[in-house]
Amino acid sequence: MIVLGIETSCDETGIALYSGDRGLIAHRLHSQVATHAAYGGVVPELASRDHVRRVLPLVQDCLAEEGLDAGDIGGIAYARGPGLAGALLVGASVAEGLGWALDCPVLGVHHMEAHLLAPMLEPDPPAFPFLALLVSGGSGCSYYAAPVAPMALLSGRSIVPYGRAGGPLGRGRRGFGGRRRLRRHAAAGVF
């Protein structure tokens, strides 16, 4: 089965196709950093409008890359929150509309739990059980993940101090995109 994934929780439009047999087969990401840089942070209405323009072309690009058409999609998953309300509504509307048109199941996925389980798609996933601290934009949570039981949310909410820490810590001279800068430094082993 081919599952279409749609992520529009904030300022990036993410689209992926996942095959039950082959894993991740295509993905596209559009960043809105340049759009929001002049404002010093994400402007929710601009983010939502950009998602409207980007989602379907990115889906079409992914399908074309694999020589597939919309009829090959067997299920759709989309980010249902937390995130910016308008941005999430774009992803949910596209997912539900496509699901209805294609007569396939649609599932809203918790944004933070998706981050938690994303490493399970890697060739060498972490072993259960594990603890995780997740920080994404203004959201932050800590989880206990077990193999059979549902994940246990230990702490967190939509806007928490550790969710906001990345921006001011990493801003530097640009004034925006501090979390991306921190992520780049961390990947390079600077910290």
pLDDT in tens, 103-144: 999 999 988 888 888 888 888 989 988 888 887 766 778 888
In this prediction, residue 163 carries a pLDDT of 45
User: Residue 70 has what DSSP assignment?
Assistant: G
Fill in the DSSP letter of residue 170.
Answer: H
Compute the distance between CA of residue 174 and CA of residue 153 in angstroms, rounded to an integer: 34
Q: How much is the mean pLDDT over the chain?
A: 85
d(CA 150, CA 124): 21
Q: Could you report the per-residue pLDDT of 51-92, keeping only the tens digit for each? A: 999 999 999 999 999 999 999 999 999 999 889 999 999 999
- Collapsing DSSP states into helix, strand and coil, what is residue 105? coil
Supply the pTM of this predicted model. Answer: 0.79
The domain locations on the chain are 2-113, 126-187
pLDDT at site 160 = 42
pLDDT at 85: 95
Top CATH class of 2-113 equals alpha beta
In this prediction, what percent of the chain has a pLDDT beyond 70? 79
Residues 6 or more apart whose CB falls under 8 angstroms from that of 121 comprise 18, 23, 24
* pLDDT of 161 strictly over 50: no
**CB neighbours of 151 closer than 8 A, spacing ≥ 6?**
113, 116, 143, 144, 145
What percentage of the chain reaches a pLDDT higher than 90? Answer: 54
- The rounded distance, in Å, linking the Cα atoms of 14 and 95 is 13
The answer to whether 76 and 105 have CB atoms below 8 angstroms apart is yes
